[in-house]
Structure 1
Amino acid sequence: MAHLLGGENLSISFGTRTVLDGVTVGLNEGDRVGIVGRNGDGKSTLMRLLSQRAEPDGGRVTKRRGVDVGYLDQGDVLDGDLDVGRAIVGDRSAHEWAADPRIREIMAGLVGDVDWRAEVRSLSGGQKRRVALAKLLIEPHDVIMLDEPTNHLDVEGVAWLARHLKTRWRANEGAFVVVTHDRWFLDEVCTSTWEVHDGIVEPFEGGYAAYVLARAERDRMAAVVEGKRQNLVKKELAWLRRGAPARTSKPKFRIDAANALIADVPEPRDAVALSKMATARLGKDVVDLEGVTLAYGDPGPPAAAPLFDNVTVRLAPGERVGVVGVNGAGKSTLLRLIAGEIAPTAGRVKRGKTVVPAVLSQDVRELDDVADLRVIEVIQREKQTFTVGSKELTAGQLVEQLGFTNQKQWTRVSELSGGERRRLQLLRLLVGEPNVLMLDEPTNDLDTDTLAAVEDVLDGWPGTLVVVSHDRYLLERVTDHQLALLGDGKVRALPGGVEQYLELREASLSGAGAPGTEDAGARASQTEGGVGAGLGSGSVSGGAAGGATGGATAAGSGKGSAAAAGASETEKRQARKELSRVERQLGKNAEQETKLHAQMADVADDYGRLAELNAQLQALLAEKEELELAWLEASEVLE
């Protein structure tokens, strides 16, 4: 496999802290690499160095001539004054990109529900992320580097991105590097893993699951070595401490050797451990949403569709529920209804008398009022001492268990990273001893080690838990069942989990754009940003139709083979006529398909017309499948 780019002896420091120390890594064609590590250990820094967006203090980055590197930054780098179309394709003419099926597929997968003419500044965080991804993916890069690409994406968006990366290149072509906290995504798309820690990079074969197993074995072996070393340290310390008279007669080299051994004790890695806090008693009644309807805007005609329409949801003591859904379907709003922050338009929300709710919001805005305080002061405002299990801890001891070292404890909240703010707010919620905990996208900005610690505490947390997340790994680990919001005002149970949700979404898209359904093109054109919606629906329905037709083809072939064995001259004559008719029709079909592609390129800015043409194209492709089946049957009669 050809070498694409690499770094040799890379070193970089920020202030007095060395982030990378003599790191050497390389990317070859076909590499699919996931980077993991704790927040602040240098994952994004390593990727910026490899993409030559930052200069190392030492070492060098080499790149094969002609290699094009695409980079998705973790932050928002789009120009807010541009509209969505210009932000993605720039000044490129419409026919130039609309005629490319690969670009149309990316548009449909990522920005199908985004208003093409809307200003970027008016978009939600998830929409901005998808626009940035579309802008990157439509270009033919040799290497793609993605920094937290799944942030703000819903489950469906993450699944689409995984499929795209797996099929973007052939097995031994291209390469990508991804930094993400999404363990399912890492397992799905990566064939190797780099762990960044303590200034070094350790490579592991396989995705996240393989990495966890390999690291566990590495840590076990390290523990054995460390146990032997500790025993040797104890012996040397005992020898040194036998008394002043004896010390004077000891050889100097022996004292130097013991001191060197003691000095070689490695710095302990931050213990990221969330401890189970005491929880307020929870009675038999928790929260019931009974016949709840919630609508925004003016109630008069024409009334907007309600966000929730006659919904009933009941939460039991100790129940653990995951919520998934499309963007804008009301996942965060559902949490606010349960928490009592908003009231429904109709119906009622019944809460138990002993319910003590706590909500972790997406943007951790609850910390804004304590931005000038230091980490330890935030916790001390809640309590001075805390009971964890059978132990009593001070505020300093408690925040240290969450990974805030003595130095970090005195950092102002305004200076914390996104992951550190989320950890602090989660601890702040837990020390308030809630019994109904609601987490809105809790995995954003957290590293995999912290996520594992969060999952450990949630596993043993005795209260009622409601989690809104696109992280399939988290949902399947800490919740017992899931609910789906599909944007139609209803809440659906998902006995089959996240896979069932994706099947429901695929079925709904297929039904909305299937050829032959009434007003399919009109419905697609009415969808906001109709270019993506129309193409997306058509693409999905086309795939479904193709699968069904494939089955029919196999059945038909068998029938034709049986007929061929004893076909009469009359049957053969009829078969030749049918073959001639089908071939003429296939020729006309091909001409119509060419014309439709040309028309779609000409009306790329007319999204309603584009959706109609796409519906016609899908119907034409379905007809082509039927003609090809008839051709096969006729030809087999003549064999």
Structure 2
Amino acid sequence: MPPLIVAEKVQVAFPTAGPVLRDVTLGLAEGDRVGVVGRNGDGKSTLLRVLARELEPDAGRVTWRRDLRVGYVDQSDVLDPEATVRDVVVGDAPEHEWAGDARTRDIVAGLVPPDVAWEARIGELSGGQRRRVALASVLVRSWDVLVLDEPTNHLDLDAVVWLAGHLQQRWPAGSGAVAVITHDRWFLDEVCTTTWEVHDGTVDSFEGGYAAYVLQRVERDRQAAASEARRQNLMRKELAWLRRGAPARASKPKFRIDAANQLISREPPVRDGVELTQLATARLGKDVVDLLGVEVDLPDGRPVLRDIEWRIGPGERTGILGVNGAGKSTLLGLVTGAVAPSRGRVKRGKTVEVAVLSQSLHELDDVAEERVSDLVGRQRATYVAGGKELTPGQLLERLGFRTQQLSTPIKDLSGGQRRRLQLLLILLAEPNVLILDEPTNDMDTDMLTAIEDLLDTWPGTLLVVSHDRYLLERVTDQQYAILDGRLRHLPGGVDEYLALRERQDQARDFASSAPRDTVVEEQSGLSGAERRAVQKEIASVERRMERLAARVDILHERLAAHDQSDYEGLQTHTEELRTVEDEIAHLEERWLELSESLD
């Protein structure tokens, strides 16, 4: 494919950080979908700023195709606080123009929250809302290349899935290009066909998304006899999980590396679930927290949570899903005791000690002047992880702190370093129930892998609220969702949640488009609004059918690879396959009904 952007021997240095990029040569071509990974501070954002014409390199050359249009989304927005959402997203375009454009309507529906008024001023919005509006304002315009720096920040799971689909379909195959930094590993796998790893001033290119990158990186480290044994072991463990626990992702690479697969065969499962449950039961007993007929109302009487029946057991690892405002924080407050139920009862075990890793970094403000080593030194002298006794310093090393950083004042730590320090202090306090509230904020993929490795050995009950699908599937064994104020178990995991959310949206769209004085079935001539609603549902049904068809292929592969003497396992896969095929049949019927209504 012809190059769109070419960087040759690019060098960038900063007075305080020194050289960040050294003699980097790379290109971005038509059809490229590039994910950029690497440790925080290694130059990922600097590289993207150079490609987006936002930063002039100190040396080297960058060339862009003539008349190339590059859209850039930074981590921080520069929106005018006095402008309205309408001003930022569509400018002064008349409503009939932008509302008549299918892509603009889809972007607004996918990113601008329903509770954000079209005429609301930017200065009145929360940080997350501003981020969504800034992203929408770029996507509605026409670009040849999109350069996106952490676009999934502040997006809920539904919006992350929407953004992935938008980038996949934005240009015809083989045209346009994307370079994106994100710590969302599911997103990297879903969108990217190439991965750039930025490290030590250089950029290494790998074919494929995150799973393929991990596979090749393990092989690279093996061939180079890497001295970073701890880091290599983490990536081997990550690879083993990708191949065993996430076959949909691991099947994407179109190649097979025998040496790496030999490593996998010797790698034990990421967690010994039986042993961890036994340890958790010994620390907690059989009772942790029970929510019995619990309901919570707002001060004005409106319900937030209804009819909650939930028994949290020792050693359980549970992910909590839900859109922003669904009641996830309220549910966690019931578990910690910070929220009292309006009705029903909360029963806690006598030995329960809950700790929360919250989204706020202000918890360390009181110790901002202290050095890391002094603060950690006041905690426990040792910590047991995976049967091994570790000092706090060794724990800090596992979480990515270098020796020279131990003397750094806490106020000078980056956001990601503060998050890791928060987690370390919580673990050293030895709670037996741990709640992680959006733990991926400010983390790079390497640090997320290290934290997941540490959590694999943690013998307690774990509750995780996160929009990061990869993290949820990696560290939890079951998922629940808050839908319309009720807590629902998701045997089908995140895929089931997304299907339920899609049905909710379809029902709302169809209800809002139905004529008030006649039944829907009697429509003979649809109005423009009704026709758009039907077309939107048809597109939604088609996307769902595509995802389910891919799921059928995966299940067939699992059946073929499964031990044919394991009748129980075969039956489980067969039943799931039958369920998916039944849902496809139902969707096909719905598609026909909708199509006929447009005739």
Normalised TM-score (structure 1): 0.72
> Would you say the 8 A contact 1:112–1:536 is kept in 2?
no
How many percent identity over aligned positions? Answer: 58
Residue 627 to residue 6, structure 1, CA distance change in 2 (3 Å): closer
Could you tell me which residue of structure 2 aligns to residue 4 of structure 1? 4
Cα offset for 1:122? 3.3
Residue 500 to residue 61, structure 1, CA distance change in 2 (3 Å): same
Cα offset for 1:295? 1.8
SS class of match (1:151): coil
Amino acid at match of 2:334: L
Could you tell me which residue of structure 2 aligns to residue 425 of structure 1? 422
Amino acid at match of 2:4: L
Matched, 1:320 2:317: yes
Matched, 1:310 2:307: yes
Cα offset for 1:333? 2.4
Matched, 1:511 2:507: yes
SS class of match (1:223): coil
Per mean C-alpha deviation after superposition, the further-off stretch among 278-287 and 10-19 is 278-287
Summarize deviations over 1:191-211 as a string: whole Å, max 9, x none: 000011111100001111111
Could you tell me which residue of structure 1 aligns to residue 173 of structure 2? 171
Summarize deviations over 1:358-389 as a string: whole Å, max 9, x none: 11112333222222222223322334555556
Matched, 1:285 2:298: no
Amino acid at match of 1:111: V
Matched, 1:91 2:92: yes
Cα offset for 1:105? 1.3
Cα offset for 1:538? 5.1
Could you tell me which residue of structure 2 aligns to residue 185 of structure 1? 187
Cα offset for 1:94? 2.6
Could you tell me which residue of structure 2 aligns to residue 447 of structure 1? 444
SS class of match (1:499): helix
Task: Name the CA distance, whole Å, in 1 between partners of 2:397 and 2:228.
Answer: 23
Task: Name the CA distance, whole Å, in 2 between partners of 1:623 and 1:389.
Answer: 55
Task: Name the CA distance, whole Å, in 1 between partners of 2:401 and 2:227.
Answer: 28
Task: Name the CA distance, whole Å, in 2 between partners of 1:348 and 1:287.
Answer: 11
Residue 225 to residue 426, structure 1, CA distance change in 2 (3 Å): closer
Amino acid at match of 2:354: P
- What does 1:73-92 correspond to in 2, within 5 Å? 73-92=74-93
Could you tell me which residue of structure 1 aligns to residue 28 of structure 2? 27
Residue 110 to residue 389, structure 1, CA distance change in 2 (3 Å): closer
Summarize deviations over 1:96-138 as a string: whole Å, max 9, x none: 3222121111111111513222233333343222212111100
SS class of match (2:151): coil
Q: Please, which runs of 5 or more residues in structure 1 have no aligned partner?
A: 228-275, 523-532, 550-620, 629-639
Matched, 1:542 2:513: no
Task: Name the CA distance, whole Å, in 2 between partners of 1:189 and 1:474.
Answer: 17
Task: Name the CA distance, whole Å, in 1 between partners of 2:416 and 2:394.
Answer: 20
Could you tell me which residue of structure 2 aligns to residue 60 of structure 1? 61
> Would you say the 8 A contact 1:11–1:57 is kept in 2?
yes
Residue 389 to residue 106, structure 1, CA distance change in 2 (3 Å): closer
SS class of match (1:362): coil
Cα offset for 1:60? 2.3
Summarize deviations over 1:71-101 as a string: whole Å, max 9, x none: 1111243333332222222333333322212
Residue 389 to residue 27, structure 1, CA distance change in 2 (3 Å): closer
Task: Name the CA distance, whole Å, in 2 between partners of 1:344 and 1:201.
Answer: 53
> Would you say the 8 A contact 1:514–1:520 is kept in 2?
no
SS class of match (2:377): helix
Amino acid at match of 1:325: G
Residue 364 to residue 540, structure 1, CA distance change in 2 (3 Å): farther
Q: Structure 2 residue aligned with 1:218, among 198, 217, 220?
A: 220
Cα offset for 1:149? 1.0
SS class of match (1:373): coil
Summarize deviations over 1:150-177 as a string: whole Å, max 9, x none: 1121111111001000000011211010
> Would you say the 8 A contact 1:287–1:350 is kept in 2?
yes
- What does 1:217-616 correspond to in 2, within 5 Å? 217-223=219-225, 281-299=283-301, 304=302, 306-386=303-383, 393-486=390-483, 488-514=484-510, 539-543=535-539
Could you tell me which residue of structure 1 aligns to residue 202 of structure 2? 200
Residue 67 to residue 387, structure 1, CA distance change in 2 (3 Å): same
Residue 166 to residue 71, structure 1, CA distance change in 2 (3 Å): same
Amino acid at match of 2:434: L
Task: Name the CA distance, whole Å, in 2 between partners of 1:119 and 1:89.
Answer: 14
SS class of match (1:514): helix
Residue 224 to residue 395, structure 1, CA distance change in 2 (3 Å): closer
SS class of match (1:117): coil
Per mean C-alpha deviation after superposition, the further-off stretch among 79-88 and 190-199 is 79-88
Per mean C-alpha deviation after superposition, the further-off stretch among 205-214 and 289-298 is 289-298
Residue 107 to residue 479, structure 1, CA distance change in 2 (3 Å): same
Matched, 1:625 2:596: yes
Cα offset for 1:441? 1.1
> Would you say the 8 A contact 1:105–1:535 is kept in 2?
no
> Would you say the 8 A contact 1:126–1:327 is kept in 2?
no
Amino acid at match of 2:95: A
Summarize deviations over 1:27-84 as a string: whole Å, max 9, x none: 1111100001111111111111111212222212211121111111112433333322
Task: Name the CA distance, whole Å, in 2 between partners of 1:623 and 1:427.
Answer: 54
> Would you say the 8 A contact 2:513–2:533 is kept in 1?
no
RMSD: 3.0
Cα offset for 1:399? 2.0
Task: Name the CA distance, whole Å, in 1 between partners of 2:293 and 2:173.
Answer: 52
> Would you say the 8 A contact 2:158–2:323 is kept in 1?
yes
> Would you say the 8 A contact 1:321–1:481 is kept in 2?
yes
Normalised TM-score (structure 2): 0.76
Task: Name the CA distance, whole Å, in 2 between partners of 1:318 and 1:548.
Answer: 34
Residue 515 to residue 396, structure 1, CA distance change in 2 (3 Å): closer
> Would you say the 8 A contact 1:104–1:535 is kept in 2?
no
Amino acid at match of 2:72: Y
Could you tell me which residue of structure 1 aligns to residue 13 of structure 2? 13
Task: Name the CA distance, whole Å, in 2 between partners of 1:370 and 1:627.
Answer: 64
> Would you say the 8 A contact 2:538–2:594 is kept in 1?
no
Task: Name the CA distance, whole Å, in 1 between partners of 2:419 and 2:535.
Answer: 39
| Greater gyration radius | 1
Amino acid at match of 2:487: V
Amino acid at match of 2:70: V
Amino acid at match of 2:153: N
Residue 79 to residue 68, structure 1, CA distance change in 2 (3 Å): same
Could you tell me which residue of structure 2 aligns to residue 101 of structure 1? 102
Summarize deviations over 1:283-327 as a string: whole Å, max 9, x none: 21111112222222323xxxx3x1112212210000111011111
Residue 427 to residue 201, structure 1, CA distance change in 2 (3 Å): same
Residue 535 to residue 382, structure 1, CA distance change in 2 (3 Å): farther
Task: Name the CA distance, whole Å, in 2 between partners of 1:105 and 1:506.
Answer: 14
Q: Which has the higher contact order (CA 8 A, sep 6+)?
A: 1
Task: Name the CA distance, whole Å, in 2 between partners of 1:520 and 1:54.
Answer: 56
Could you tell me which residue of structure 2 aligns to residue 612 of structure 1? none
Cα offset for 1:9? 1.0
Cα offset for 1:141? 1.0
> Would you say the 8 A contact 2:386–2:457 is kept in 1?
no
Task: Name the CA distance, whole Å, in 2 between partners of 1:402 and 1:426.
Answer: 9
Per mean C-alpha deviation after superposition, the further-off stretch among 499-508 and 359-368 is 359-368
